[in-house]
Amino acid sequence: MLFSFYNFSFFIIIIIFFSFFSHYSRGQQTYSNAAYTSCNGSEASIQGYLCNGPQETCDSYITFRSHHPYDSTISIAYLLGADASQIALVNNITSTTSKIPEYTLIVVPISCSCSGDYYQHNTLYTMNTSDTYFTVANDIYEGLTACSALRSQNNYDATNISIGSQVLVPLRCACPRSNQTAAGVRFLLTYIVTAGENLTEIAETFGTDTQSIVEANYGLSMDSIIAYITLLVPLKSDTCSAKPESFFCRCTNGFNGTVGQMCSRTDHGTGLPVKLAVLIGIAPTLSLCYNASLIFSFSTMG
């Protein structure tokens, strides 16, 4: 009996080990099927995407839907800590100051980096009248960050934040794992799901397939997609053969590179947003590298 008990225990341990290892080896990020709105949530999937890949820093993309007063590339860039000219190029917008129609889907190139246990893209937000962590996370940043993540990364009293205070906003992003890169994934895009959308529509929008999205978001199934929760969408190099006009398939002027691979600047201009460059004292010769397209645009979504 004792031998049988030890055999059974060993069998259970093996199952648990291989289940965990299988999840880890596939490089999937856990899909959160719980709302980010709770300011007390501590689950890893709510806090952000885990640093489980070989890259500590990578180029990435996030999505944002224009809304007043963030309805031009320059205002969106300032809010998200991005480069206005790159946003304009990616979305085929001719002027960084032109007003963008309400609720237009905008793709934003960013630099994604590990910060502790999580990948994130950091930006700053100045608190205004009636702002709270809850409204900043859900109304201003549309779910690209979580209320609980704001609380955990800022020292302000959540119930009494002074007007004019600057809070650190960790935006959700991720870098591909080695197995994803081997499968042709070049970038991961953080997408905010809206009511009524399905995986097929999202996959078609970004030139990928539903299975790739499911595999990139552990625990996600075709019928479990939830509105206002972020999804990671793998952007693959083979898309560039069929759709060379896709925003991540070409390098912009001032960059050089191979289709579907990282680009590099041919100059030494800075791509850092002014507020972050001033904050962390980075020399103006440093730059961010983004892939973009000169001819890709998204239509207004309602």
Give the residue-averaged pLDDT of 129-151: 93
Residue 274 scores a pLDDT above 50:
no
Give the separation between CA 142 and CA 135, rounded to whole angstroms.
9
- Condensed to tens digits (0 to 9), the pLDDT of residues 19-43 reads 333 333 445 788 876 655 667 766 6
At 41 the pLDDT is 62
pLDDT level of residue 259 (50, 70, 90 thresholds): very low
- Residues shown for the chain: 302
Distances in Å between the Cα of 49 and the Cα atoms of 181, 233, 297 are 17, 13, 27
- Condensed to tens digits (0 to 9), the pLDDT of residues 96-118 reads 999 999 999 999 999 999 998 99
**All structural domains of the chain with their residue ranges:** 55-280
**What's the chain's average pLDDT?**
77
- Condensed to tens digits (0 to 9), the pLDDT of residues 39-95 reads 776 666 788 899 988 889 999 999 999 999 999 999 999 999 999 999 999 999 999
At 171 the pLDDT is 97
Give the separation between CA 173 and CA 231, rounded to whole angstroms.
10
| Residue percentage of the chain with pLDDT more than 90 | 49
The 10 Å Cβ neighbour count of residue 99 is 11
